[in-house]
Amino acid sequence: MKRRIVVALRPVSPVERLLSVGASLCRRLEAELEVLADPERPDWAELESRLAALEHDGLDCRLTPAPELDARHVVEHARRHECVTSVVVGRPAAWANDSSNPWAKLECPLVAASDHPDLPKEQ
């Protein structure tokens, strides 16, 4: 079973940054890349194109439709697939829509790809 890095995209996620971080992790860990995103995104075709380019560069990629994606859905997806070795999101706190911490149930590392102070805040 090949390892998998999951990149979860909210409508306001910094796509360039998250795909870059996800692809870098995949190369280092010899893993495949799975992107979870709402199929209603206006940039869906662009995401498909970006993943095709990454595949051309040697990464195994897949784009998984995930309507109404939220943190709970991401955690459940990762828990259902034991090959998931890491989940990449922009800013974990931006996913919380209540006082619970859904990321606490994640059984693999969570990578916050846009929490760096020099990057714009994800709302």
What per-residue confidence (pLDDT) applies to 28? 96
Domain count, the chain: 1
How many Cβ atoms from other residues are within 10 Å of residue 53's Cβ?
12
CATH number for the domain spanning 36: value is 3.40.50.620
> What would the pLDDT profile of 61-100 be if each residue is shown by its tens digit?
999 999 989 999 999 999 999 999 999 998 888 887 666 7
Domain limits for position 59: 4-112
Determine, yes or no, domain membership for 20: yes
> What would the pLDDT profile of 24-54 be if each residue is shown by its tens digit?
999 999 999 999 999 999 999 999 999 999 9
Determine, yes or no, domain membership for 53: yes
Higher pLDDT, 67 or 14: 67
In this predicted structure, the answer to whether residue 6 has a pLDDT above a threshold of 90 is: yes
Q: Note the Cα 27 to chain centre separation in Å.
A: 15
Nearest to 20 by CA among 65, 62, 50, 64: 50
What per-residue confidence (pLDDT) applies to 13? 84
Determine, yes or no, domain membership for 119: no
Determine, yes or no, domain membership for 117: no
Tell me the residue ranges of DSSP E strands in 15-120: 32-37, 61-65, 84-89, 110-112
Q: What is the pTM of this model?
A: 0.90
Determine, yes or no, domain membership for 122: no
Residue 85, CB half-sphere, CA atoms under 13 Å: how many? 14
> How far is Cα 41 from Cα 118, in angstroms, rounded to an integer?
27
What per-residue confidence (pLDDT) applies to 51? 96
Nearest to 20 by CA among 11, 9, 12: 9
What per-residue confidence (pLDDT) applies to 115? 57
What per-residue confidence (pLDDT) applies to 37? 96
In this predicted structure, the answer to whether residue 101 has a pLDDT above a threshold of 90 is: no
